[in-house]
Amino acid sequence: MDSLSSYRRIYLVLGLVICLALLRSIYSLPIAENFYAEILEYSNGNWTSRYLLVNDYTLSFNTVANVIVVRTDPSSGLQPMTVFIDGVPYRPSIKTGTLWFSYIVQLDGKPHTITVSFQRRTQLTSMNGIIGLKSASPLSAGTNLTIPIVPGFVPAGYRVELLLSSSNDLATLFNKPFFVLNASIIDILSQRLVAVDILIPFTNVTIGQNFISGTLWYLYFLPSKEGSVTFPPYDFRAIYVNYPSYKSKGGNFILANPPHVALYFPPGLSASESLGRYSVNVAVALPDTLCNIKDYTFKIIPPQDGYVNENTVYLGENTTLTVRFFSGGISIGDLIIYSPPPSLLVQPPIYSLEIRFLDLMGYPVNNTSFIIYSRGIPVYRGFTPSGKAVVCPLPKGSYDIVAYLSSVAIGKGKVDVFSDQSMDVRTNTSTVRFQFVRQGTGEILKDYTAILRGYVTMRTNSSMDGIVVYHGVPPGNYKLDVLWNGTLLATYDVSIDLSSADKVLSIQAYKLQVLVRNLLDQPVKNIQVLLEGRDFSKSRLTDEMGRVDFGFVPAGNYTLIVEQALPQKLEVSQDTFKVVQIDEVAKIYGFTITGKILSLAVGLIFVFTMIWLIAKIVKRFIHRGKGIEEV
Identify the domain boundary among 452, 481, 503: 503
> Rounded CA gap, 58 and 410, in Å?
33
Based on the fold, state whether residues 156 and 179 are members of the same structural domain: yes
For residue 542, the domain's CATH number is 2.60.40.1120
Each residue's pLDDT tens digit, 168-220: 889 889 999 999 999 999 988 778 899 999 999 999 999 999 899 999 999 99
> Rounded CA gap, 483 and 461, in Å?
10
Q: Is residue 50 part of a domain?
A: yes
Q: How many domains does the chain have?
A: 6
pLDDT for position 625: 66
3-state percent helix, strand, coil for the chain, nearest multiple of 5: 10, 55, 35
Based on the fold, state whether residues 214 and 67 are members of the same structural domain: yes
| CB-CB contact of 306 with 271 (8 Å) | no
Q: What is the DSSP string of 417-478?
A: ESSSEEEEEE-S-EEEEEEEEETTT-PBP-S-EEEEESSSEEEEE--TTSEEEEEEEPSEEE
Q: Is residue 19 part of a domain?
A: no
Q: Is residue 26 part of a domain?
A: no
Q: Is residue 413 part of a domain?
A: yes
Q: Is 499 exposed, middle or buried (0-12, 13-18, 19+ CB in 10 A)?
A: exposed
Q: Is residue 6 part of a domain?
A: no
Based on the fold, state whether residues 100 and 242 are members of the same structural domain: yes
pLDDT for position 190: 77
> Rounded CA gap, 43 and 65, in Å?
5
Query: In Å, what is the CA distance from 269 to each residue of 240, 250, 558?
Result: 15, 18, 111
Based on the fold, state whether residues 199 and 264 are members of the same structural domain: yes
Q: Is residue 216 part of a domain?
A: yes
Domain containing 485 equals 430-503
Based on the fold, state whether residues 206 and 183 are members of the same structural domain: yes
* Count of Cβ atoms closer than 10 Å to residue 534 Cβ: 9
pLDDT for position 1: 46
- pTM of the shown model: 0.64
> Rounded CA gap, 531 and 536, in Å?
8
> Rounded CA gap, 240 and 227, in Å?
12
Backbone angles phi, psi at 296, to 5 degrees: -70, 140
Q: Which residues of the chain have pLDDT under 70?
A: 1-30, 287-290, 292-294, 500, 585-603, 625-631
Based on the fold, state whether residues 43 and 109 are members of the same structural domain: yes
Beta bridge partners of 52: 37
Based on the fold, state whether residues 529 and 479 are members of the same structural domain: no
pLDDT for position 534: 84
> Rounded CA gap, 525 and 544, in Å?
5
Q: Is residue 317 part of a domain?
A: yes
SS3 label, residue 554: strand
Based on the fold, state whether residues 42 and 119 are members of the same structural domain: yes
Q: Is residue 10 part of a domain?
A: no
Identify the domain boundary among 468, 503, 538: 503
Backbone angles phi, psi at 132, to 5 degrees: -125, 130
First to last CA, the chain: 134
**Integer-rounded Cα radius of gyration of the chain:** 47
Based on the fold, state whether residues 47 and 111 are members of the same structural domain: yes
| CB-CB contact of 465 with 447 (8 Å) | no
Beta bridge partners of 561: 530
> Rounded CA gap, 343 and 345, in Å?
7
Identify the domain boundary among 449, 474, 503: 503
Beta bridge partners of 579: 515
| CB-CB contact of 581 with 518 (8 Å) | yes
Based on the fold, state whether residues 478 and 379 are members of the same structural domain: no
Q: Is 62 exposed, middle or buried (0-12, 13-18, 19+ CB in 10 A)?
A: exposed
Based on the fold, state whether residues 264 and 289 are members of the same structural domain: no
| CB-CB contact of 144 with 200 (8 Å) | no
Residue 625's contacts (CB-CB under 8 Å, 6 or more residues apart) are none
Backbone angles phi, psi at 497, to 5 degrees: -125, 180
Backbone angles phi, psi at 78, to 5 degrees: -110, 115
Based on the fold, state whether residues 131 and 205 are members of the same structural domain: yes
* Dihedral over alpha carbons 338, 340, 345, 351 (to 10 degrees): -10
SS3 label, residue 295: coil
